[in-house]
Amino acid sequence: MKTSFLHLSPRTQSYYNNNTNIRKDGTFMSFTPYYRLNTGKWNVDEKNWTYTSSVTEISPYGQELENQDALGRYSAATFGYKQTFATGVAANARYRDIGFDNFEDYGFSQCADRHFKFPVDDQIIDYDAHSGKRSIKIESGSPLKMQKPLEICSPTGCDVSISPTNVSSTLTNIAVSGGQSPYQIDYNVIHGNPTISFSGTDFNTLKATGTAWEVEVIVLDALGCKSTKKVVH
C-alpha cells in the first residue's frame, strides 16, 4: 500500500423509542467511487475523498517502516527476529530518528539490517545473555562505540522545488532544483497512460509524453527533504 484515502459522507442516524437504532444506523448516506469508468478509461474522481496517510519507507521484506499522515507527522517502526516482529514503534519520529538493538539478529543474513547495530559481529555471544539468547561482550579497556549521523534539513525548511516546463503531449520536462543532490525522484500516475522516462546527468529530470494525464512527482534530496507536485496535461 502506498497511500490511504478516506471517503467523507454523513451517516444515517435514527431513533426508536428514544434510542439510537444500532442495527441500522451508521451507514453512508452517499458514496462516490474513487475510480470512475469514463469512455473506456478509468479516471480518478476525488470528490468526497480525502488523503489520510502515505507510506514513505518500506523494508525489502515488505514491512512498513515509516509513514506520514495528512498533517505531515511521521510515525516509524523497527523490526527484528528475522524482520518478522516489531521491536520499536514511535510517533512523531522518522525512521532515521529511532533505533533499537537487542543483539539477536546479527547472523540473520549476509545482507543484514544495519540501521542500528554495532559494527562488529565477532563480539556477539550466545553463552551469556539477559532476557534473550545473545548479548554483546565488552572487555575492560576496549569500549565499543556506535556512531550514526543524523542528516536533517536546514532550519529554514526544505527548499526543493519541482518545475514542469513545456507541458505538452509530445514532451514534458519536470526538473528538480534546490535542496542538496543527489535526488531520488519518483512518480505516481493518478490517471491517464503517459510514457515516463528519466534524463539528466543525475537522472533528476522526469520526462512524460501522452495525452490527458495527471502525474504526482515526488522528490527526496540527500538530506531527506521531500517535495511533491501534481502535473496535469
Is 80 exceeded by the pLDDT of residue 169?
Answer: no
Fold of 161-232: Immunoglobulin-like (2.60.40)
Between 61 and 170, the higher pLDDT residue: 61
Average pLDDT over residues 221-225: 75
| Cα angle value 18/23/29 (rounded, 5°) | 90
Q: pLDDT tens across 112-121, in order?
A: 577 888 877 7
Between 201 and 84, the higher pLDDT residue: 84
| Residue 203 banded pLDDT, cuts 50, 70, 90 | low
C-alpha cell read off for 197: 522516462
Average pLDDT over residues 102-110: 75
The region, left, alpha or beta by phi > 0 then psi within -120 to 50, assigned to residue 62 is left
Q: What is the mean pLDDT of the chain?
A: 81
| Residue 151 banded pLDDT, cuts 50, 70, 90 | low
Average pLDDT over residues 15-43: 84
Q: How far is CA 161 from CA 176, 185, 223, in A?
A: 6, 12, 14
| Residue 39 banded pLDDT, cuts 50, 70, 90 | confident
Average pLDDT over residues 181-198: 78
Nearest alpha-carbon partner for 115 in 103, 101, 136, 94 = 101
Task: Give CA–CA dist 18/25, Å, rounded.
Answer: 14
Is 90 exceeded by the pLDDT of residue 66?
Answer: yes
Q: Are 78 and 117 in contact (CB under 8 A)?
A: no
| Residue 155 banded pLDDT, cuts 50, 70, 90 | very low
Between 231 and 7, the higher pLDDT residue: 7
Between 155 and 158, the higher pLDDT residue: 158
Determine what percent of the chain is predicted with pLDDT higher than 90.
12
pTM: 0.56
pLDDT score of 144 = 84
C-alpha cell read off for 114: 544495519
Q: Which residues contact 54 (CB under 8 A, 6 or more apart)?
A: 2, 3, 4, 67, 68
